[in-house]
Homo-oligomer: A and B are copies of this chain.
Amino acid sequence: MKNTQIKILEEIKLKNPIFIEALPGIGHVGKLAADYMIDELEATKFAELYSHHFPPQVFVDEDGLVENMVNEFYYLKSQGKDENDLLILVGNSQALSPEGQYQLSSEILDFVEQFGVKNMYTLGGLATGHPIEKPRVYGAATDIEIIETLRELDIEIRSADGGIVGASGLLLGLGKVRKMKGACLMGETPGYFIDAEAAEALLEKLASLLNIEINTDKLDERAEETRKMISKAQQMEQEIMNKAMGTSEDDLRYIG
């Protein structure tokens, strides 16, 4: 019995795809940005990933329907002057155990590699623990040229004062071993609520990097919806994950 299953909904081919990951994490900054982007640009879901490494539970939605722990792959064919298709990973969960994290990140890379992915952006939040006037976006990358590109877009470079825990870190790191390049973008956030402003800041930088346009007018509205949908169950989920990583919110700077 395989611990992880990917269910293909549509057979697709992609042209020079850029991989974007945004699984649940601090302030749901990455998830909110990517979910909005998928809606706004009308990306198409083409695969679902189920795994024994997710927390052993289901969510219940507002209609009383059970919802599996799942990761979802979307694609977006290149638009306007941009030459790259996009392959976007979102979901309601990350792997729970440390070894599950590695296993799942490897299987995700195996999957996206088939579509010719050579570049990626992983999205997350950087928790400050205190209110922020105007959220900045921080970045870390697999090579120095990308660092330069981030700098040109006024993205703050993270220096050696912390690691990146979870999928956003591992996908970059394991990708690097496979000669994939990429960066992790982190929206600065207090970390204790669904943060639309951090997601907006993040989305603006991502749009510049991808050379596309994303209208962020409805992001605030979306954040409100997300606040409602992200039930106590998902908060519980976050707590479970934090414990699994052996960290508490107190000593945790970043989960992406």
Contact = CB atoms under 8 A, between A and B. Distances in A.
Most chain B CB within a 10 A radius of its CB, from A62, A63, A157: A63
Nearest to A230: B160
A239 interface: yes
Nearest to A104: B56
A209 interface: no
B66 A160 contact: no
B103 A1 contact: yes
B101 A56 contact: yes
Contact of A247 (B68, B229, B240, B251): B240
A59 B157 contact: no
B236 A68 contact: no
Contacts of A78: none
A55 interface: yes
A57 to B, nearest CB: 4
Contacts of A184: 66
B232 A66 contact: no
A142 interface: yes
A53 B164 CA distance: 17
A60 B246 contact: no
A96 interface: yes
Nearest to A94: B56
Given A1-B106, A58-B173, A63 B144 contact: yes
A14 interface: no
A98 interface: yes
A17 interface: no
Nearest to A244: B246
A114 interface: no
A145 to B, nearest CB: 11
Contact of A240 (B52, B67, B233, B245): B245
A164 B62 contact: no
Given A64-B157, A96-B98, 10 more contacts: A3-B99, A52-B99, A57-B165, A59-B160, A60-B163, A62-B160, A67-B173, A96-B99, A161-B233, A244-B246
